[in-house]
Amino acid sequence: MQPTAHALSIAAVVLAATFCGATSAVEVGETAPSFTLKDLSGRDRSLSEFKGRTVVLEWNNPNCPFVQKHYNSSNMQSLQREFGARQVVWLTVNSTAQAASDFMDPVALTRWEADQHAVPSGYLVDASGAVGRAYGAKTTPHMYVIDPAGKLVYAGGIDDKRSTNVADVKTAKNYVRTALEETLAGKAVSTPTATPYGCSVKYAS
């Protein structure tokens, strides 16, 4: 469904606010910051357990219309499923602060994930925002690809269509897909960075 002018206006304000004074904490080509976070079942998951594998980090907030665009179109789930079958580790990360109105507890997130038929390797809770800040995550979604050597090889938006319109998914240039295809083929990523778009990450103050 085409978003209303009011919705687009709100989205534009959110998007503009996202980039004010924010800089990435880790640069493409550098070693991806290590972390340990709890998944929705309360189990500790660490980046180090996936050493030697390609890893995707997807910053997520189910209440964000930009996230909803990629889930309502099944774009995100399709990528999770396709590359999961190729042994890519897909970690969804939620850095929404507990005090934020968008905060969802693990029970609600588990229900949402099931309703969306999402199939990441894990959904990780980063309520302190420490991991999000280490990666410089600005928006939901904000995507990262880490190669088997542990180097960050892609950081940015999922694609080049900065809208909430589901129909745009079909004609978008998907940077994450390209980065994964090239990484799995042992090639350098042709577009290693792209401007992220979406709702601002609701970090704890």
Among the residue ranges 17-31, 82-96, 164-178, the one predicted with the least confidence is 17-31
Write the CATH number for 18: 3.40.30.10
pLDDT of 1 higher than 80: no
Determine the Cα–Cα distance for residues 144 and 160; give it in Å rounded to an integer.
15
* Residue 134 covered by a domain: yes
Tally the C-alpha atoms within 13 A of residue 16's C-alpha that lie toward its C-beta. Answer: 6
Question: For residue 37, is it within any domain?
Answer: yes
Contact assessment for residue 89 and residue 50, using Cβ atoms and an 8 Å cutoff? yes
Per residue in 157-172, pLDDT tens?
999 999 999 999 999 9
Q: Which residue has the tokens 């904000």?
A: 142
* pLDDT for residue 4 is more than 80: no
Is 76 domain-assigned? yes
Q: Grade residue 20 by pLDDT with cuts at 50, 70 and 90.
A: very low
Domain count, the chain: 1
Q: Among 1-5, 91-95, 101-105, 198-202, name the one with the lowest average pLDDT.
A: 1-5
Q: How confident is the model at residue 25 (pLDDT cuts 50, 70, 90)?
A: confident
With a pLDDT cut of 70, the percent of the chain lying above it is 88
pLDDT of 30 above 80: yes
Domain ranges, residue 155: 5-200
Residue 15 resides in a domain = yes
Q: Within a domain: residue 205?
A: no
**In contact, 71 and 77? CB cutoff 8 Å:** yes
| For range 97-125, the mean pLDDT | 98
61 pLDDT higher than 60: yes
CA-based torsion, 143, 147, 153, 159: positive or negative: negative
Report the DSSP beta bridge partners of residue 57. 91, 144
53 belongs to a structural domain: yes
pLDDT above 60 for 87 = yes
CA dist., res. 41 & res. 38, Å (int) = 8
What pLDDT score was predicted for residue 8?
A: 37
Q: What is the pLDDT of residues 133-147, one digit of tens each?
A: 999 999 999 999 999
C-alpha 91/C-alpha 43 separation (Å) is 14
